[in-house]
Amino acid sequence: MNKKLFVPIIIVAIIASFGAGFYVSNMSRPSVEEIKTVSNAELGKAENVDFSLFWDAWKVIEDKFVNRSKLDAQKMVYGAINGMLRALGDPYTVFMPPEENKKFSEDMKGEFGGIGAEIGMRKDILTIIAPLEGSPAKAAGLLPQDKVLKVDGKSTDGMSIDEAINLIRGPKGEAVVLNIFRDGWKDAKDFKIIRDTIVIPVIKWQMKDNKVAYIQLYHFSENSASEFKKVAQEAISAGAKSVVLDMRGNPGGYLESAVDIISWFVSDNQVVAIEDFGNGKKTEYKSVGYQKLMSYPAVLLVDAGSASASEIVAGALRDLRNIKLVGTKTFGKGSVQQVEQMRNGSSLKITVAKWLTPSGKSIMDEGLEPDEKVELTEDDINNNRDPQLDKALEMLK
């Protein structure tokens, strides 16, 4: 079964590709009559699609382009696919050739090279979703919602996410310079960041005063559910009486992990998330019956770096348990990506749906507003103050 991903765009090189070994220039071209049978009735388009214009343009390029002796047919195919994907208007739908598909799989398992920041598009501007805990990006001072204007001096205006990723990633130990603009600044600033091997942290916890289990969940990776189980059992055994679940800067990950973690806080067989495929079809995901934290008072910490699976958890626990959200508005990454494995080890990560909270609310591009809005300033960070956590602990007294 294909795993459903609510995946932020990790700093990983992704390019559009048909995969290895696909040669176009001299291949047999199907007749117009065969191609014109392609249609998309599900989207309400009655007209047939005529691909002859593509082949006409290809022929003109082969015959008349001034540097036609240097044409690379494979790169032209990649460019065509890239253009097709851009026409969808969805920055999260990408094709990954074998090498990049392998890197993506490694990233989701928890280790990869880069700066340790995850990026997305906000109003067509390349934006930091979250710097990962313990990463070079975090150490350099990047924050959620930082706008990336340049990468090593190259403007990101009009640049796709995958193009930016290719520029940002690089060999361990080498530097990349990001030109960053942050709300409240007069001018943009350069951040020089040394690339490193990135190990994605999963979870840690500590007992606060009044027996509050403070759980920091950094990512929804393949092993997040099992790691959360260990932490929950430790906290219960230690006598915890309430929980603060901190998902600030958590950019998401696997849907299955999100559903599993929600299941600790709610009763069995409750709808915790709804996939809306946009064609009338919806799929409900239900809790699986752990329930051991169901009676515990809880508060969730969220911010602009809380995205995708984090928003699923936050939306579900607020709808089902009336658990309060403290912090700032979440990112609004409410789409569902599914990875389809293709030939030759390539894959297509495609947006197949948007998700709804149990009450039917979509957070696509809107995010979740906190119940208690508490800002965390740069001055707070520099002086090790955490008014958001302080507010959550106060609410649980």
Hey, which residues are catalytic here?
A: 308, 333, 337
Distance CA 83, CA 93 (A): 12
- Residue 234 CB neighbours (<10 A): 13
* Structure-block tokens of residue 226: 């099992």
Distance CA 56, CA 53 (A): 5
- Residue 51 CB neighbours (<10 A): 14
- Residue 153 CB neighbours (<10 A): 8
Q: Reduced to 3 states, what is the DSSP secondary structure of residue 200? A: coil
Beta-carbon contacts of 99 under 8 Å, excluding residues fewer than 6 positions away, are none
Q: Reduced to 3 states, what is the DSSP secondary structure of residue 339? A: strand
- Residue 173 CB neighbours (<10 A): 10
The region that residue 162 occupies, defined by phi over 0 for left and psi between -120 and 50 for alpha, beta otherwise, is alpha
Angle CA 146–151–153, to nearest 5: 120
Distance CA 49, CA 77 (A): 19
Q: Specify the residue for token string 């520099």.
A: 382
Q: Are 285 and 262 in contact (CB under 8 A)?
A: no
**134 half-sphere exposure, CB direction, 13 A CA radius:** 11
Beta-carbon contacts of 249 under 8 Å, excluding residues fewer than 6 positions away, are 130, 131, 132, 133, 144, 218, 303, 305, 306
Question: What is Dmax (Cα atoms) for the chain?
Answer: 77
3-state helix, strand, coil in the chain (%, to 5): 30, 30, 40
Q: Reduced to 3 states, what is the DSSP secondary structure of residue 9? A: strand
Q: For residue 298, what are the β-bridge partners?
A: 243
